[in-house]
Amino acid sequence: MSTMTVDYTVRLRFGETSRAAATHTNLSAVRLDGHVLWIAGDETATIERLLADQPEKATEFGDETTFRLADFVDLPGEDVNEEADVEGLARGGQFLWAVGSHSLRRKQIKNQHEGKQALKRLARVEGQENRQILVRLPIADIDGVPTPVREIEIDGQRHRAAALRRRDNLRSLLRDDEHLGPFLPIPGKDNGLDIEGIAVRGDRVYLGLRGPVLRGWAFVLELRPYVSEDDPDRLRLRDFPDGLPYRKHVLDLEGLGVRDLCPDGDDLLILAGPTMDLDGPVRIYRWHQAAHSEIPTIVRDNLITRELDLSYGEGDDHAEGLSMLGADRVLVVYDSPATHRLTNDGAVIADVVLLPPKP
């Protein structure tokens, strides 16, 4: 295990609309795609695309374009602008994937609240339907830039933007699960269900759970989504041999939950942090040969290594997203960035961190 070494930093420059929505200070998901950086905040129902200033070694990603999820798929909420709390982005084949947290949230006690009013707020739990999304967007090359589209042709077949339907959403599928079902009514920050990462490898989609963490074990769900020709904008889930449409893996993250996932060849890199409302610790783990797992796996001992300990602040600088950058580095973005990460010209600073050599 090593302490993080920041190789260099890059600036992420957002437009006025995203800065007004505080997307730049609420970053929750990131995925590098050549000279394009896909990024999302947890306060909107959009995906942002930033372009590198130079393809070889970018010092800045900017020229932002915003893509509204509601322009591509039907969102479950009545208000298409209600936040989707996008917590994970992944690129697989010709598609960009996005997943919402699926979590409930508890009202906070703020400085002006006292006595019964404060306690009443703390008792309020609410959900938002748009958080319950799993979306697959086709990506086309338009003028040399990867761009989401509603429909694309791949090997003579048409593929549309697709999403899980409301009746197929993961909260419904997990209702009777012996491990996760009891945690559905609990808010994410209270160790309830909270999806905070997605990775795609071939036909496998992995979802990392920040919570619940059970007796120190964290969960990663494996899905096998597909679409049928008669309903091309609906994602469906193939059943595994036990008849369930998901497979559970449990990971020894030393009591931490999953904050993001990122494939590195056949391995999965896991950004891990506290499930509860704490600053740290924050670490990167490697699940070796994750893509070859054919059964529900207890990921411990030689299957997983602790790669890096990341720095974190007190009340700020919470690492929320990571993406491979080259063969031996990861790009790390932060929610609630510290003051030193916010530049005078409106950009936010992300870190490029060296990974330890593979054994």
CA distance 66 to 68: 7
- Please report, in tens digits, the pLDDT of each residue of the chain (359 residues total): 567 889 999 999 999 889 888 888 889 999 999 999 999 988 889 999 999 999 888 999 999 999 999 999 999 988 878 888 999 999 999 999 999 999 999 988 888 888 888 899 999 999 889 999 999 999 999 999 999 999 998 888 889 999 999 888 899 999 999 999 999 999 999 999 999 999 999 999 999 999 999 999 999 999 999 999 889 999 999 999 999 999 999 999 999 999 999 999 999 999 999 998 888 899 999 999 999 999 999 999 999 999 999 999 998 999 999 999 999 999 999 999 999 999 988 899 999 999 998 87
Task: Give residue 1's pLDDT.
Answer: 59
pLDDT of residue 199: 98
Task: Provide the whole-model pTM.
Answer: 0.95
Output the pLDDT for position 56.
Answer: 83
Query: Which two structure tokens, joined as six digits, stand for 263?
Result: 């494939």
Taken in order of first residue, the domains within the chain and their CATH numbers are 2-354 (2.120.10)
Q: What pLDDT score does 43 carry?
A: 83
83 in Cβ contact with 128 (< 8 Å): yes
